[in-house]
Amino acid sequence: MADFIPTPHNAAKDGDIAKTVLMPGDPLRAKVIADTYLKDVTCFNTVRNMFGYTGTYEGKRVSVMGSGMGMPSIGIYSYELFNFYGVDNIIRIGSAGGLSDDLKLKDLVIAIGACTDSNYASQFNLPGTFAPVASYELLESAVNEAKKKDVHYVVGNVVSSDCFYNDNKDAASLWKKMNVLAVEMESAALYMNAARAGKNALCILTISDHIFTGESLPALERQNGFNTMMEVALGIVKE
């Protein structure tokens, strides 16, 4: 799809981006990952300060790029990566607010599915309700990697919400009663884009705050921490 690149949002040229991309929401977290874990790093994007880098991790070529906040933002970046840049796998590594009583700060959630209050799926004109789910191969690999690293993790449903400040004060409780583990803002759009493109996607999330206990991590720790999540994601890169 070289005729479509560079895009208005991504300055990368053909071949600049690896087949697997890790996508934190925060572009500064992308920089931290590149600086901390990758070798032979090149920066392929700074447009809108949505930093993107390609390097190697344990000899495997991998890219990392911010997605921004919300489904419209990750929808743009993941669509272009899948459809214009030939990316096969996107692994979202992000933060989430815990809903389940069993989750504590810094726990990992591997999202098998992503409920949503968004209208994102309407563009596909489906004759029903679409269920956005992870790619099983990536999911299985992440579970195995978490076990190998002796990491506490939970696999289950999350909810991707368009609203950070939700006027419906009962929303969190209603999702919780359906055994939804956590709330975030991007996974459903990523899973839908992957399904439409015939590509692979997975979301690995770290609990940064808990909706019902009120506990939370400071902003700097969200930006620079989450090492366990990053290492699990890097450990399942195939290329």
- The residues assigned a catalytic role are 209
* Structural contact between residues 206 and 108, judged by C-beta atoms closer than 8 angstroms: yes
Burial readout 139-148 (b: 16 or more C-beta within 10 A, e: otherwise): bebbbebbee
Distance separating alpha carbons of residues 104 and 209, to the nearest angstrom: 8
Distance separating alpha carbons of residues 187 and 189, to the nearest angstrom: 6
Name the burial class of residue 170, with classes exposed (0-12), middle (13-18) and buried (19+) by CB atoms within 10 angstroms of its CB.
exposed
* Structural contact between residues 193 and 103, judged by C-beta atoms closer than 8 angstroms: no
Calculate the alpha carbon distances from 5 to 8, 188, 228 in Å: 8, 25, 34
